[in-house]
Amino acid sequence: MDWGASVSWMRDWISNADNVVFLVISLVIVAAAIRVVSSPNVVHAALMLVLALAGAAGLFLMLGAEFVAWTLVLVYIGAVIVLFLFGIMITRAPTGRDPVRLDHARRWPAAVVALGTFVTIATVTTMAFGDRPVEAAVSRSGELGDVLFSRYVIPFEAVSFVLLAALIGGIVIARKDPDR
Amino acid sequence: MTISQFLVLGALLFSIGIYGVLVRRNAVLVLLSVELMLTAVNINLVAFGSYISDTLRSGQVFALFVITVAAAEVGIGLAIVVLVFRNRSSANVDELDLLRW
């Protein structure tokens, strides 16, 4: 692709309102995700995860996955982040100790591994699927509910069983042992 | 909207999560980075589901399942972290060497 065609392709891409919204949301997501893995404050990292997940919910709304978006908001932002904040509160080192460092000293090998993963995945998926269009936002939550309770009812029940097992397992693991 | 922009965003989020998993010492922060990777997978699933636009909505259904299993994983994982912190008074993953032979 020569330079002029590339410029005109980018002008076409940015003149679409959906693409502008996507660009803004994805910039917010990436910035928040970088803060999650680099923030020296543990609570700030958890709150930045809220921002990244809210951006992901916005992308799901753009793609017409309304039910998934609001499930993400309810389950993650409503419940999982509260669980993380409780975990941070419980496992924070007691005051009076030396402040422990949150990161390893060797960051460059991790950065190289992450960069290699990104280049591999992005190259392979982009080469395989190219610029095929995706369907714009048409929300059909009713159809999703129908198919969830007809075609996917056995996986649905299995997942609910997994949730029940995780609930009981969490209680059993985190409980104080009464024998000691 | 093309599918490749969602795929590149998903790859970027996934590799940021990998960096966090490798570089963080606190176990709660490692779990936060795992959540980032799962979100990247969800974005890819929903984008592919919107791309193939089947009547079964399989992309969105699988994203819902991933969200549910991730919630269960966070519950168990944080229970383990709390238990380890109670026994070792530290939640750093590089100080847990009980299984080192």
Contact B4 A131 (CB under 8 A): yes
**Each residue's pLDDT tens digit, A53-102:** 999 999 999 888 889 999 999 998 889 999 999 888 888 754 444 466 77
Find the mean pLDDT for residues B65-90: 90
pLDDT score of A161 more than 50: yes
Q: What residues does each domain of chain A span? A: 3-93, 140-180
Average the pLDDT over B17-31 and give the result: 91
Phi-psi region of A64 (alpha: psi -120 to 50; beta: other; left: phi over 0): left
Q: Closest Cα of chain A to B36: distance in Å?
A: 7
Position A137 scores a pLDDT of: 59
What pLDDT is recorded for position B15?
Answer: 96
Positive or negative, the CA dihedral A108, A111, A115, A121 is: positive
Average pLDDT, chain B: 89
Q: Which two tokens mark A135? A: 């369907």
**pLDDT in the model for residue B40:** 95
A103: left (phi over 0), alpha (psi -120 to 50) or beta: beta
What is the amino acid identity at position A86?
A: F
CATH domain B3-95 topology: Helix Hairpins (1.10.287)
Residue among A10, A19, A25 at smallest CA distance from A133: A19
- Give the nearest partner residue to B11 out of A33, A56, A118, using CB atoms: A118
Q: What is the ipTM of this complex?
A: 0.90
Architecture of domain A3-93: Up-down Bundle (1.20)
CA atoms within a 13 Å half-sphere pointing along the CA-CB vector of A102:
18
Kindly report the average pLDDT of chain A as a whole number: 86
Mean pLDDT value of segment A136-154 = 83
Chain B residues whose CB is inside 8 A of the A163 CB are 68, 71-72
- Given a cut of 80, whether residue A48 has pLDDT beyond it is yes
- What is the model's pLDDT at position A100? 65
* Contacts (Cβ under 8 Å, ≥6 apart) of A25: A55, A58, A59, A62
- Indicate yes or no: CB of A155 within 8 angstroms of CB of B1: no
Q: How far is CA A6 from CA A3, A63, A101, in A?
A: 5, 26, 46
Residues 6+ apart with CB under 8 A from B79: A169, A170, A171, A173, A174
Pick the residue with more confidence: A142 or A92?
A142
Query: What is the rounded (10 degree) CA torsion for A171, A173, A176, A178?
Result: 90
- pLDDT on residue B53: 76
pLDDT of residue A97: 47
Query: Cβ separation of B4 and A100 shorter than 8 Å?
Result: no
| Euclidean distance between CA atoms B55 and A147, whole angstroms | 9
Q: Is residue A132 within 8 Å of B2, Cβ to Cβ?
A: yes
- B98 φ/ψ angles, rounded to the nearest 5 degrees: -65, -30
State the pLDDT at residue A95: 43
Tell if the CB–CB gap between B50 and A134 is shorter than 8 Å: yes
Amino acid at A61: L
Confidence band of A159 (pLDDT split at 50, 70, 90): very high
Would you give the distance in Å from CA A5 to the centre of its chain? 34
Residues B14, A118: C-beta atoms closer than 8 Å? yes
Residue A1 has pLDDT above 70, yes or no: no
> Taking 80 as the threshold, does the pLDDT of residue A34 lie above it?
yes
What's residue A180's pLDDT?
59
Residue A32: per-residue pLDDT: 96
